[in-house]
């Protein structure tokens, strides 16, 4: 089947806060991987690219579909997987996240599956090298395992300037230390570390970090039963959207439907923020939604929502 179809017009038929997502399955060297459909702009046949001098080793080059220059990353090379002997049918998956368009060179696209975040488990140890590992989750679907890759981490490693910049905090001017507690809900060890360092630099020294929406919800239940005022333990929640077990949309829905927790400001800080995702977040009560890596903007929003 010739693949040149655009996925940008495909609407994910998921209600807001159902804790589900759609995964596009693809293969490299016969192994099965997945990407959230919300990150995919289109898929097309691989084509000749123009090599760029002094580029990262895994960057094949650039190509220009429809008057737009897009970098191509050899995903198999990044993962240290051998090349296919039949590369004539290879595919480019063109993605859009963090306000960037990047193409990933893969072998074949298998199809699209609808799964629950509960069926996606965080890998226990390092997978496919690197300090944290590039697998953000392992999905179980119809007796097969699909490795969900952390595409944000891949791009951040190849192009650090596209990720969170500590220097942007300095542009906020002189900051004062305060004792308000910020709950960080982020499954990426790399990104959560960067977010926390930036918040500490901005004066928010009290941070609580959890790995996913389920851990955040469990923590909030403990806070509710402690007998203390909620704001003593949580003044603001900053949550990613894509997370194993429970995503940020489901967490938002639960928090905003809870009579005790609903007044806690909740910010969705995600690479996925688009017009469609923004509508989704608004419908479940998110107080603000901003795109990574706008960390200075995040701090300003926390200031405003916590009346700092």
pLDDT in tens, the chain (308 residues): 333 333 333 344 345 677 888 999 999 998 999 999 989 999 999 999 999 888 899 999 999 988 889 999 999 999 999 887 776 789 999 999 888 899 999 999 999 989 888 888 877 654 544 445 788 888 888 888 899 998 988 998 888 776 666 667 777 778 888 889 999 999 888 788 889 988 998 999 999 999 999 999 999 999 999 888 898 899 999 999 998 889 999 999 999 999 999 999 999 999 888 888 899 999 999 999 998 878 888 999 999 999 85
Same domain? 144 vs 168: no
Q: Judge whether 12 lies within some domain.
A: no
Last residue of a domain, one of 160, 193, 223: 160
Same domain? 242 vs 154: no
Q: For 167, left (φ over 0), alpha (ψ -120 to 50), or beta?
A: alpha
**Are 29 and 84 within 8 A, CB to CB?**
yes
Same domain? 135 vs 245: no
Q: Angle at which helices 248-256 and 213-225 pack, to 10 degrees?
A: 20
Q: Judge whether 153 lies within some domain.
A: yes
**Are 33 and 25 within 8 A, CB to CB?**
yes
Q: Judge whether 15 lies within some domain.
A: no
Same domain? 113 vs 63: yes
Tell me the CATH number at 76.
2.40.50.180
Q: For 98, left (φ over 0), alpha (ψ -120 to 50), or beta?
A: left
Q: Cα-flanking dihedrals φ and ψ of residue 66, to 5°?
A: 50, 50
Q: Judge whether 6 lies within some domain.
A: no
Partner residues linked to 284 by β-bridges: none
Q: Judge whether 182 lies within some domain.
A: yes
> Which tokens is 117 given?
């975040």
Q: Judge whether 139 lies within some domain.
A: yes
Last residue of a domain, one of 134, 160, 186: 160
Same domain? 86 vs 186: no
* pLDDT value for 205: 93
Same domain? 186 vs 298: yes
Domain range spanning residue 61?
20-160
Same domain? 211 vs 90: no
Partner residues linked to 291 by β-bridges: 270
Q: Judge whether 5 lies within some domain.
A: no
Same domain? 255 vs 296: yes
Same domain? 134 vs 28: yes
Same domain? 225 vs 113: no
Q: Judge whether 8 lies within some domain.
A: no
Domain count, the chain: 2
Same domain? 279 vs 222: yes
Query: Cis peptide before 19, with omega less than 30 degrees from 0?
Result: no
Last residue of a domain, one of 143, 160, 177: 160
Same domain? 184 vs 156: no
């Amino acid at each position: 089947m010739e693949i040149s179809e655009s996925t940008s017009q495909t609407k994910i038929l998921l209600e807001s806060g159902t804790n589900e997502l759609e995964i596009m399955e693809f293969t490299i060297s016969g192994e099965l991987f997945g990407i959230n459909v919300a990150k995919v702009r289109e898929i097309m046949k691989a084509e000749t690219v123009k090599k760029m001098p002094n580029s990262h080793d895994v960057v094949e080059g650039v190509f220009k579909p429809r008057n737009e220059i897009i970098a191509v990353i050899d995903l198999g090379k990044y993962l240290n997987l051998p090349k296919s002997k039949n590369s004539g049918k290879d595919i480019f998956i063109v993605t859009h996240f963090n306000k960037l368009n990047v193409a990933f060179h893969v072998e074949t696209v298998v199809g699209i599956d609808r799964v629950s975040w509960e069926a996606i488990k965080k890998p226990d140890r390092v997978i496919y090298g690197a300090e944290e590992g590039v697998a953000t989750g392992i999905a179980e679907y119809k007796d097969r395992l699909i490795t969900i890759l952390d595409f944000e981490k891949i791009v951040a490693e190849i192009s650090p300037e596209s990720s969170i910049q500590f220097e942007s905090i300095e542009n906020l001017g002189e900051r004062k230390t305060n004792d308000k507690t910020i709950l960080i809900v982020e499954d990426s060890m790399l990104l959560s570390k960067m977010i926390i360092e930036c918040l500490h630099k901005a004066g928010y020294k009290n941070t609580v970090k959890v790995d996913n929406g389920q851990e955040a919800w469990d923590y909030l239940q403990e806070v509710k039963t402690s007998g203390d005022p909620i704001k003593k333990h949580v003044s603001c929640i900053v949550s990613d959207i894509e997370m194993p077990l429970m995503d940020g949309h489901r967490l938002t829905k639960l928090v905003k439907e809870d009579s005790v927790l609903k007044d806690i400001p909740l910010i969705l800080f995600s690479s996925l923020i688009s017009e469609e995702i923004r509508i989704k977040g608004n419908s479940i009560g998110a107080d603000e939604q901003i795109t990574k890596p706008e960390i200075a903007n995040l701090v300003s929003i926390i200031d405003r929502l916590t009346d700092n």
